[in-house]
Structure 1
Amino acid sequence: MARAIAIFAARIIFSFIFFMAAGFKFADIGATSGYIAAAGFPMPTFLTWIAAFFEIALALAFISGAFFREASLLAGIYVIFLAFAFHGPSHWQQNQAEFGFFVDHFTFLAGLLFAAVHGPEKWAFKQTLLR
Protein backbone atom coordinates (compact mmCIF):
# COMPACT_ATOMS: atom_id res chain seq x y z
CA MET A 1 0.00 0.00 0.00
CA ALA A 2 2.85 2.41 0.80
CA ARG A 3 4.32 1.80 -2.65
CA ALA A 4 1.03 2.63 -4.36
CA ILE A 5 0.63 5.80 -2.30
CA ALA A 6 4.19 6.91 -3.07
CA ILE A 7 3.71 6.34 -6.80
CA PHE A 8 0.39 8.20 -6.75
CA ALA A 9 2.05 11.08 -4.90
CA ALA A 10 4.75 11.17 -7.59
CA ARG A 11 2.06 11.25 -10.27
CA ILE A 12 0.43 14.21 -8.55
CA ILE A 13 3.79 16.00 -8.38
CA PHE A 14 4.52 15.33 -12.07
CA SER A 15 1.02 16.57 -12.96
CA PHE A 16 1.36 19.69 -10.85
CA ILE A 17 4.70 20.59 -12.45
CA PHE A 18 3.32 20.30 -15.98
CA PHE A 19 0.00 22.02 -15.14
CA MET A 20 1.99 24.84 -13.55
CA ALA A 21 4.33 25.14 -16.56
CA ALA A 22 1.35 25.31 -18.93
CA GLY A 23 -0.36 27.82 -16.65
CA PHE A 24 2.63 30.16 -16.80
CA LYS A 25 2.59 29.92 -20.59
CA PHE A 26 -1.15 30.62 -20.82
CA ALA A 27 -0.81 33.50 -18.34
CA ASP A 28 1.68 35.33 -20.56
CA ILE A 29 2.03 33.83 -24.02
CA GLY A 30 4.03 36.89 -25.10
CA ALA A 31 6.70 36.52 -22.43
CA THR A 32 7.19 32.83 -23.14
CA SER A 33 7.25 33.53 -26.89
CA GLY A 34 9.94 36.15 -26.28
CA TYR A 35 11.99 33.66 -24.31
CA ILE A 36 11.67 31.09 -27.08
CA ALA A 37 12.57 33.69 -29.72
CA ALA A 38 15.62 34.76 -27.70
CA ALA A 39 16.81 31.15 -27.81
CA GLY A 40 16.71 31.37 -31.61
CA PHE A 41 13.65 29.27 -32.42
CA PRO A 42 11.35 30.25 -35.30
CA MET A 43 7.59 30.77 -34.83
CA PRO A 44 7.87 31.35 -31.08
CA THR A 45 4.18 32.07 -30.45
CA PHE A 46 3.15 28.87 -32.24
CA LEU A 47 5.74 26.89 -30.29
CA THR A 48 4.50 28.42 -27.03
CA TRP A 49 0.94 27.26 -27.71
CA ILE A 50 2.16 23.79 -28.73
CA ALA A 51 4.28 23.52 -25.57
CA ALA A 52 1.40 24.64 -23.34
CA PHE A 53 -1.04 22.10 -24.77
CA PHE A 54 1.63 19.37 -24.71
CA GLU A 55 2.24 20.10 -21.02
CA ILE A 56 -1.51 19.89 -20.32
CA ALA A 57 -1.61 16.51 -22.09
CA LEU A 58 1.33 15.27 -20.04
CA ALA A 59 -0.27 16.47 -16.80
CA LEU A 60 -3.53 14.69 -17.65
CA ALA A 61 -1.67 11.48 -18.49
CA PHE A 62 0.21 11.58 -15.19
CA ILE A 63 -2.82 12.31 -13.03
CA SER A 64 -5.06 9.77 -14.78
CA GLY A 65 -2.44 7.10 -15.38
CA ALA A 66 -3.59 6.75 -19.00
CA PHE A 67 -0.68 6.35 -21.41
CA PHE A 68 1.53 6.78 -18.36
CA ARG A 69 4.66 5.04 -19.63
CA GLU A 70 4.50 6.81 -22.98
CA ALA A 71 3.92 10.16 -21.28
CA SER A 72 6.87 9.54 -18.97
CA LEU A 73 9.18 8.87 -21.91
CA LEU A 74 7.91 11.84 -23.93
CA ALA A 75 8.24 14.09 -20.89
CA GLY A 76 11.82 12.86 -20.42
CA ILE A 77 12.70 13.74 -24.00
CA TYR A 78 11.00 17.13 -23.59
CA VAL A 79 12.80 17.90 -20.32
CA ILE A 80 16.22 17.12 -21.80
CA PHE A 81 15.43 19.18 -24.89
CA LEU A 82 14.55 22.10 -22.58
CA ALA A 83 17.77 21.60 -20.61
CA PHE A 84 19.96 21.94 -23.68
CA ALA A 85 17.88 24.56 -25.49
CA PHE A 86 17.43 26.97 -22.59
CA HIS A 87 20.06 26.10 -19.97
CA GLY A 88 22.84 24.36 -21.91
CA PRO A 89 26.55 25.09 -22.07
CA SER A 90 26.11 28.23 -24.18
CA HIS A 91 24.29 29.86 -21.24
CA TRP A 92 26.81 29.02 -18.51
CA GLN A 93 29.24 31.82 -19.37
CA GLN A 94 26.63 34.56 -18.82
CA ASN A 95 25.15 33.04 -15.66
CA GLN A 96 26.65 30.16 -13.70
CA ALA A 97 23.25 29.43 -12.12
CA GLU A 98 22.22 28.10 -15.54
CA PHE A 99 24.47 25.09 -14.93
CA GLY A 100 22.38 24.26 -11.86
CA PHE A 101 19.17 24.60 -13.86
CA PHE A 102 20.69 22.36 -16.53
CA VAL A 103 21.62 19.63 -14.03
CA ASP A 104 18.19 19.82 -12.36
CA HIS A 105 16.61 18.69 -15.62
CA PHE A 106 18.58 15.44 -15.40
CA THR A 107 17.26 14.82 -11.90
CA PHE A 108 13.76 15.25 -13.28
CA LEU A 109 14.66 12.90 -16.16
CA ALA A 110 15.75 10.24 -13.64
CA GLY A 111 12.34 10.37 -11.98
CA LEU A 112 10.55 10.20 -15.32
CA LEU A 113 12.59 7.19 -16.43
CA PHE A 114 11.89 5.45 -13.13
CA ALA A 115 8.19 6.19 -13.62
CA ALA A 116 8.27 4.86 -17.18
CA VAL A 117 9.77 1.57 -16.02
CA HIS A 118 7.50 1.06 -13.01
CA GLY A 119 4.24 2.36 -14.43
CA PRO A 120 1.32 4.12 -12.76
CA GLU A 121 0.59 1.40 -10.14
CA LYS A 122 -2.99 1.50 -8.83
CA TRP A 123 -5.56 4.18 -9.45
CA ALA A 124 -4.99 4.46 -13.17
CA PHE A 125 -7.57 4.51 -15.94
CA LYS A 126 -7.40 1.26 -17.87
CA GLN A 127 -6.36 1.38 -21.48
CA THR A 128 -8.66 -1.47 -22.51
CA LEU A 129 -9.08 -0.21 -26.06
CA LEU A 130 -5.39 -0.74 -26.71
CA ARG A 131 -5.22 -4.31 -25.41
Structure 2
Amino acid sequence: MENTQSIWQIAAILIARLIFAAIFLMAVSFKFMDMGATAGYIAAAGFPLPLFLAWCAAALEVLLVIAFLTGAFFTPAALIGSVYVIFLGFSFHGPSHWAGNQAEFGFFVDHFTFLAGLLFAAVHGPGSTLAIRAGWRSRV
Protein backbone atom coordinates (compact mmCIF):
# COMPACT_ATOMS: atom_id res chain seq x y z
CA MET A 1 0.00 0.00 0.00
CA GLU A 2 1.51 3.30 -1.10
CA ASN A 3 1.56 6.15 1.41
CA THR A 4 0.77 9.33 -0.52
CA GLN A 5 0.19 12.75 0.94
CA SER A 6 -1.99 15.50 -0.45
CA ILE A 7 -0.58 18.93 -1.22
CA TRP A 8 -2.09 20.43 1.94
CA GLN A 9 -0.55 17.69 4.10
CA ILE A 10 2.87 18.23 2.55
CA ALA A 11 2.51 21.98 3.04
CA ALA A 12 1.37 21.59 6.66
CA ILE A 13 4.31 19.35 7.52
CA LEU A 14 6.82 21.67 5.86
CA ILE A 15 5.32 24.72 7.58
CA ALA A 16 5.44 22.94 10.94
CA ARG A 17 9.10 22.03 10.37
CA LEU A 18 9.84 25.65 9.47
CA ILE A 19 8.08 26.89 12.61
CA PHE A 20 10.06 24.49 14.82
CA ALA A 21 13.29 25.56 13.13
CA ALA A 22 12.41 29.26 13.36
CA ILE A 23 11.67 29.10 17.08
CA PHE A 24 14.98 27.40 17.85
CA LEU A 25 16.80 29.70 15.39
CA MET A 26 15.44 32.76 17.19
CA ALA A 27 16.47 31.29 20.55
CA VAL A 28 20.01 30.55 19.42
CA SER A 29 20.28 33.93 17.71
CA PHE A 30 19.57 35.70 21.00
CA LYS A 31 22.21 33.55 22.66
CA PHE A 32 24.81 34.43 20.03
CA MET A 33 23.93 38.13 20.25
CA ASP A 34 24.64 38.18 23.99
CA MET A 35 25.98 34.94 25.42
CA GLY A 36 26.79 36.77 28.66
CA ALA A 37 23.16 37.72 29.20
CA THR A 38 22.10 34.13 28.56
CA ALA A 39 24.71 32.95 31.07
CA GLY A 40 23.38 35.51 33.56
CA TYR A 41 19.85 34.21 33.11
CA ILE A 42 21.07 30.65 33.66
CA ALA A 43 23.05 31.72 36.75
CA ALA A 44 19.98 33.52 38.14
CA ALA A 45 18.09 30.23 37.92
CA GLY A 46 20.75 28.68 40.14
CA PHE A 47 22.62 26.51 37.67
CA PRO A 48 26.40 26.08 37.94
CA LEU A 49 28.76 26.82 35.03
CA PRO A 50 26.31 29.20 33.36
CA LEU A 51 28.53 30.22 30.43
CA PHE A 52 29.31 26.59 29.61
CA LEU A 53 25.61 25.70 29.81
CA ALA A 54 24.73 28.67 27.59
CA TRP A 55 27.13 27.42 24.90
CA CYS A 56 25.76 23.86 25.28
CA ALA A 57 22.22 25.20 24.83
CA ALA A 58 23.31 27.13 21.73
CA ALA A 59 24.96 24.06 20.23
CA LEU A 60 21.84 21.96 20.88
CA GLU A 61 19.60 24.59 19.35
CA VAL A 62 21.76 24.79 16.21
CA LEU A 63 21.54 21.01 15.83
CA LEU A 64 17.78 21.12 16.30
CA VAL A 65 17.46 23.79 13.61
CA ILE A 66 19.46 21.66 11.19
CA ALA A 67 17.40 18.56 11.98
CA PHE A 68 14.08 20.34 11.51
CA LEU A 69 15.14 22.00 8.27
CA THR A 70 16.64 18.88 6.70
CA GLY A 71 14.51 16.15 8.26
CA ALA A 72 17.69 14.27 9.20
CA PHE A 73 17.46 12.55 12.57
CA PHE A 74 14.04 14.15 12.83
CA THR A 75 12.43 11.82 15.38
CA PRO A 76 15.32 11.85 17.86
CA ALA A 77 15.63 15.63 17.40
CA ALA A 78 11.94 16.11 18.14
CA LEU A 79 12.22 13.90 21.24
CA ILE A 80 15.35 15.67 22.47
CA GLY A 81 13.69 19.01 21.74
CA SER A 82 10.68 17.84 23.78
CA VAL A 83 12.81 17.07 26.81
CA TYR A 84 14.69 20.35 26.40
CA VAL A 85 11.50 22.43 26.11
CA ILE A 86 9.86 20.92 29.18
CA PHE A 87 13.12 21.27 31.15
CA LEU A 88 13.20 24.97 30.21
CA GLY A 89 9.56 25.40 31.18
CA PHE A 90 10.07 24.03 34.67
CA SER A 91 13.51 25.58 35.22
CA PHE A 92 12.78 29.11 34.09
CA HIS A 93 8.98 29.49 34.26
CA GLY A 94 7.85 26.84 36.77
CA PRO A 95 5.68 27.21 39.85
CA SER A 96 8.36 28.98 41.90
CA HIS A 97 8.14 31.92 39.45
CA TRP A 98 4.37 32.38 39.43
CA ALA A 99 3.99 34.34 42.68
CA GLY A 100 6.34 37.08 41.48
CA ASN A 101 4.85 37.40 38.00
CA GLN A 102 1.59 35.86 36.83
CA ALA A 103 2.75 36.04 33.21
CA GLU A 104 5.24 33.30 34.06
CA PHE A 105 2.35 30.85 34.30
CA GLY A 106 1.46 31.65 30.69
CA PHE A 107 5.06 31.14 29.61
CA PHE A 108 5.05 27.83 31.49
CA VAL A 109 1.87 26.64 29.75
CA ASP A 110 3.25 27.70 26.35
CA HIS A 111 6.05 25.18 26.81
CA PHE A 112 3.45 22.40 27.04
CA THR A 113 1.82 23.38 23.75
CA PHE A 114 5.25 23.35 22.12
CA LEU A 115 5.93 19.98 23.78
CA ALA A 116 2.70 18.60 22.30
CA GLY A 117 3.71 19.68 18.81
CA LEU A 118 7.18 18.20 19.14
CA LEU A 119 5.83 14.88 20.42
CA PHE A 120 3.33 14.74 17.56
CA ALA A 121 6.14 15.48 15.11
CA ALA A 122 8.32 12.78 16.68
CA VAL A 123 5.61 10.20 16.07
CA HIS A 124 4.73 11.24 12.52
CA GLY A 125 8.17 12.18 11.23
CA PRO A 126 9.37 14.84 8.79
CA GLY A 127 7.11 13.87 5.92
CA SER A 128 8.17 12.59 2.54
CA THR A 129 9.12 15.91 0.92
CA LEU A 130 12.41 17.73 1.46
CA ALA A 131 13.51 15.25 4.10
CA ILE A 132 16.89 13.58 4.31
CA ARG A 133 16.37 9.95 5.23
CA ALA A 134 18.94 9.67 8.01
CA GLY A 135 18.26 8.72 11.58
CA TRP A 136 16.55 6.12 13.65
CA ARG A 137 13.99 3.96 11.95
CA SER A 138 10.86 3.41 13.99
CA ARG A 139 8.67 2.04 11.20
CA VAL A 140 9.17 -0.47 8.46
TM range (shorter): over 0.9
TM-aligned CA deviation for residue 37 of structure 1 = 0.1
Query: Structure 2 matches for 1:60-79, cutoff 5 A?
Result: 60-79=66-85
CA RMSD of aligned residues (A): 1.6
The percentage of counterpart residues that share the same residue type is 64
Instruction: Structure 2: give runs of 5+ residues left out of the alignment.
Output: 1-6
TM-aligned CA deviation for residue 126 of structure 1 = 1.8
Aligned partner of 1:126 among 125, 129, 133: 133
Task: Give me the whole-angstrom Cα distance separating, in 2, the residues matched to 1:23 and 1:12.
Answer: 16
Q: Deviations over 1:40-94 (max 9, x none)?
A: 0000000000000100000100000000011000000000000000000000010
Query: Structure 2 matches for 1:88-107, cutoff 5 A?
Result: 88-107=94-113
Query: Structure 2 matches for 1:28-67, cutoff 5 A?
Result: 28-67=34-73
Matched residue count: 131
Task: Give me the whole-angstrom Cα distance separating, in 1, the residues matched to 2:10 and 2:76.
Answer: 19
Instruction: Structure 1: give runs of 5+ residues left out of the alignment.
Output: none
More helix by share: 1
Structure possessing the higher radius of gyration over alpha carbons = 2
Task: Give me the whole-angstrom Cα distance separating, in 1, the residues matched to 2:20 and 2:113.
Answer: 13
TM-aligned CA deviation for residue 127 of structure 1 = 1.8
TM-aligned CA deviation for residue 6 of structure 1 = 0.5
Equivalent residue, structure 1, for 2:12: 6
Task: Give me the whole-angstrom Cα distance separating, in 1, the residues matched to 2:32 and 2:115.
Answer: 24
Q: Please identify runs of 4+ aligned residues in structure 1 that moved more than 6 A.
A: none
TM-aligned CA deviation for residue 123 of structure 1 = 1.4
SS across alignment from 2:82: helix
Task: Give me the whole-angstrom Cα distance separating, in 1, the residues matched to 2:68 and 2:88.
Answer: 19
TM-score by length of 2: 0.90
